[in-house]
Amino acid sequence: MMNKIFLVAQLDVQTWTYILVGITFTIYIGIAIWSRAGSTKDFYVAGGGVSPLANGMATAADWMSAASFISMAGIISFAGYDGAVYLMGWTGGYVLLALLLAPYLRKFGKFTVPDFIGDRYYSKTARIVAVFCALLVSFTYVAGQMRGVGIVFSRFLEVDINTGVIVGMLIVLFYAVLGGMKGITYTQVAQYCVLIFAFMVPAIFISIQMTGNPIPQLGFGSELNDGSGTYLLDKLDGLSTELGFSEYTEGSKSMIDIFAITLALMVGTAGLPHVIVRFFTVKRVKDARKSAGIALLFIVILYTTAPAVAAFARTNMIETVSKQSYANVPEWFRKWETTGLIKFDDKNNDGLISYVADETKNELTVDRDIMVLANPEIAKLPNWVIALVAAGGLAAALSTAAGLLLVISASVSHDLIKKIIKPSISEKGELVAARLSAVGAVCVAGYFGINPPGFVAAVVALAFGLAAASFFPAIILGIFYKRMNKEGAIAGMIVGIVSMLLYMMKYKLGWFDDVLPDKSQWWFGISPEGFGTIAMLLNFIVSITIMKFTKAPPQEVQDIVEHIRIPSGAGEAVQH
């Protein structure tokens, strides 16, 4: 018996990964088969009968994507204080969505953003513009998820990133196409359990290891247990400045850029189609509010732990690698090196790894997306913990990817085909169209996962910027301003999305370099991740200006807007 226990403990990381990923994938596929969609209502909103608790867990999994699980702590570990903008923006954005928009959208009774905009602004043109924006936001967002899937597979199953993306595509395609929102919802409940367990277990292990405190949030501000009496963050500040970096607890970004990024992430959250649709999978508006609160509690567990994980990972990495002999680097370094996500270039041929801020002397390049995944390996935790993190990363990426694919398929089959191209299509035909749309969406998502425009969180931040630039003003004005009309909304969305796209093309994809060659020419000193705020303001200005010079909406539309803001009778969606 003891020999069997010893053998299990000695299994290598790859074997543990195959076991844990195999078990979790089997659970996801089993749930999809058990809860397969039989109608369009099942496919789009899980039949509208999900409990608030299950919906809260599913929303949390949907919300905490690969960017939250893999990349957010990675950004904080490299950017320190500056990386906290992602933490503030994403958390604040969910609160904004849950309290300010979700109950009203739920009462309006339209489960997709293009459907809301099409009906609220009584216009096919508005619906088409909204469909285009929803597809753009969703494809940009899902590219980050597929990139995360590729990273996990490439390291832990030792296949190249492209193969990892393809495997992830096939898995998510199976349960998204078969189960629709019903299958995705209950799969996401399981995925939340996997991802939060996978994030917290190594964080607790390393917190005890470094500070003696089992609560990572407290360990983050505690003294190290090496007898030195030094606090973790003080040590990390010292290590950072010694290598020429700015202090970990000091920021280098301008105040205006921090404000712009935080606001873009917040209002972008409030316009994300795949999160909004979650509030339609419960029976009543009251349940939508309840599930929003439950989801926030589940999200807080990971978000309050991420800064601690970032500090642990950064400290351990610097101490393990910097100034060490390349010939004696640990096995984890060699494994990650094969993925191309860590690179060593011995510029002075002394065999030592020089990791410094000065780019002319720096010999080590580390992809920030690996920090959470490599963290337990760097800390020499048991192999099963390392594999558990891999399973958690896949759960986070696949849960969000599935929700996004559903938005894409609903935008095509429901908002485009059913509402515009072929209104007479049968329910069966619409369901087939939805599934075919999901297949096409997975293929496009896979392409962007293989050829991403940046690291995971940066790509996802751009999706938030696009949502802020296009949807937020149209939704907020549509709910709270009866006079807002179709001409203003359409013009605002077009100006917002086009300005954000042009800025992304210039400063992320390098287009127009012959016209504006220098990054120092960022408008107002605002980075592409924060430009969604400027594009959103342009949207508001254009929308309201155009509205002032055009006729008011029909009286029945104004009556609907008035009705959705009345609390009484909020249990039923408006029938119209």
Q: Tens place of pLDDT for every residue, the chain, 576 residues?
A: 444 444 444 578 888 888 988 888 888 778 777 766 666 666 666 556 678 888 888 888 877 777 788 888 888 888 888 888 888 888 788 778 777 777 787 778 776 788 889 889 988 899 999 988 888 888 877 777 777 777 777 777 777 778 878 887 887 777 666 666 677 778 888 888 889 999 999 999 999 999 999 999 999 889 898 888 899 999 999 988 988 888 888 877 888 888 898 999 888 887 777 777 777 777 777 787 788 888 888 988 998 999 999 999 999 999 888 888 888 888 889 888 887 888 888 888 888 888 988 888 888 988 888 888 889 999 989 989 988 988 888 888 777 777 777 778 877 887 788 888 888 888 788 878 888 888 888 888 788 777 765 555 567 778 888 889 999 999 999 999 999 999 999 999 999 999 998 888 887 766 655 555 455 577 778 888 889 999 999 999 999 999 999 999 999 988 888 888 765 444 444 444
Q: Which of 137, 138, 126, 135 is nearest to 493 (CA)?
A: 126
- Residue 352 sits at φ, ψ, to 5 deg, of -100, 145
Q: In sequence order, which residues have a C-beta less than 8 Å from that of residue 79 and are 6 or more positions away?
A: none
- Specify the pLDDT at position 107: 78
CA angle 197, 195, 152 (to 5 degrees): 120
Residue 392 near residue 193 (C-beta atoms within 8 A): no
Whether residue 114 is contained in a domain is answered as yes
Domain membership of residue 129 (yes or no) is: yes
Confirm whether 485 is domain-assigned.
Answer: no
In a domain, 463, yes or no: no
- Report pLDDT for 43: 64
- Is there a domain that residue 364 lies in? yes
Q: Is 79 within a domain?
A: yes
Residues 440 and 189: their CA atoms lie apart, in Å, by: 26
pTM across the whole model: 0.82
Computed from CA positions of residues 254, 259, 260, 261, in that sequence, does the dihedral angle turn out positive or negative?
positive
What's the confidence (pLDDT) of residue 438? 80
DSSP per residue, 47-106: GG---HHHHHHHHHHHHS-HIIIIIIHHHHHHHGGGGHHHHHHHHHHHHHIIIIIHHHHH
3-class SS letters over 28-59: HHHHHHHCCCCCHHHHHHHHHCCCHHHHHHHH
pLDDT at position 474 is 93
Instruction: CATH number of the domain at 190, please.
Output: 1.20.1730.10
- Residue-range definition of the domain harbouring residue 340: 28-458
Whether 301 maps to a domain, the answer reads yes
Give the residue among 159, 108, 445, 139 at the shortest CA–CA distance from 279.
Answer: 108
Cα Rg, the chain, nearest whole Å: 24
User: Of 14, 64, 44, 63, which Cα lies nearest the Cα of 109?
Assistant: 44
DSSP string, 256-276: HHHHHHHHHHHHHHTT-HHHH
Confirm if 270 and 101 have CB atoms less than 8 A apart.
yes
Q: What's the farthest any 2 CA atoms get from each other in the chain?
A: 82
In a domain, residue 365? The reply is: yes
Query: Quick one: how many helices (H) and strands (E) in the chain?
Result: 24, 2
Structural domain total, the chain: 1
Distance of CA 395 to the CA centre of its chain: 12
